[in-house]
Amino acid sequence: MSFIAIIPARLASSRLPGKALAEIGGKPMVVHVAELARASGAQQTLIATDSSRIAEAVHAYGFEAVMTSAEHTSGTDRLAEVVERSTWPDNTLIVNVQGDEPLLQPALLGEVAAHLAKHDECAIATAAYPISQVADLFNPNIVKVVLDAHGRALYFSRAPIPWARDAYQSFPENLSKIALPSYPVYHHIGLYAYRAGFLRRFTQLPRSPLEETEALEQLRALWHGERIAVLVTAQAPAAGVDTLADLTRVRAILTR
């Protein structure tokens, strides 16, 4: 089983501008991500970017960059452009590695790719882990996913799903009195594996009202009937970099 890792990277981050090139331990963050992607066993690692500065930075460390349009609204659209310009067969496995996740475990990339390879009926595979804190359940910045009996995604939401009618009666007044339900509630990990053929179709699919409401592009795939296999892991991956505080935390970890 082989796969290609593609890292979409841009400089125009709203909360932390230029974060792809933020220095961590003497190297740009995007290079740290490229190194973990290479260590995952990917047969090829590419950085898809609209920035010549990012391209020059990754070239300096021996990685290949592909220049893409500056008009893309999502990382998946950027990946789709790379795939569209390639000659890869439709069954080629592509793993989308976020450029702001320098603490991801390399093994998880291969596991998500292998999970997709085992599910021929699915166009996408992703990952999730059980939520252990009530505050995370009600945090709209944490995306939740509900699974069917076969481990495929039924829905993704920023809301607490499924809603435990009896357990959550005191919300929102008495959040401290709420306990997690007895069944698992899953935190979605933003790591995806796709088949190249799906990425060639993806940009032709109209955006869905669910996607626009939740600001979650994976809902476009579900809206149009595509299936998403979800790999459930036991532990949470380390958080990525969205803010300056996150960057400070990651710098401390990687320096150690």
Tens of pLDDT along 124-153?
999 999 998 888 888 898 999 999 999 999
Local structure of 222: helix, strand or coil = helix
Task: Give the per-residue pLDDT at 175.
Answer: 64
Residue with the bigger pLDDT between 70 and 230: it is: 230
Burial of 168 (0-12, 13-18, 19+ CB in 10 A): middle
Task: Give the per-residue pLDDT at 168.
Answer: 72
Burial of 11 (0-12, 13-18, 19+ CB in 10 A): middle
Evaluate if residue 165 carries a pLDDT over 80. Answer: no
Local structure of 130: helix, strand or coil = strand
Band of the pLDDT at 164, cuts 50, 70, 90? Answer: confident
Task: Give the per-residue pLDDT at 238.
Answer: 79
Question: DSSP character for 62?
Answer: T
At a CB cut-off of 8 Å and minimum separation 6, what does 34 contact?
A: 7, 45, 47, 58, 61, 63
Q: Which residues pair with 152 in a beta bridge?
A: 229
User: What is d(CA 226, CA 122) in angstroms, rounded to the nearest whole number?
Assistant: 7
Q: Scanning the structure block, which residue is given the tokens 């150690």?
A: 256
Task: Give the per-residue pLDDT at 216.
Answer: 92
Give tens-digit pLDDT for 77-126. Answer: 889 999 999 999 999 999 999 888 888 899 999 999 999 999 999 999 99
What average pLDDT score do residues 174-186 get? 76
Average pLDDT, the chain: 89
Band of the pLDDT at 172, cuts 50, 70, 90? Answer: low
8 A C-beta contact, residue 160 and residue 168:
yes
Evaluate if residue 226 carries a pLDDT over 90. Answer: yes
Evaluate if residue 246 carries a pLDDT over 80. Answer: yes
Q: Which residues pair with 9 in a beta bridge?
A: 49
What average pLDDT score do residues 214-243 get? 89
What average pLDDT score do residues 170-195 get? 80
Rounded to two decimals, what is the model's pTM? 0.89
CA atoms within 13 A on the CB side of 159: 11
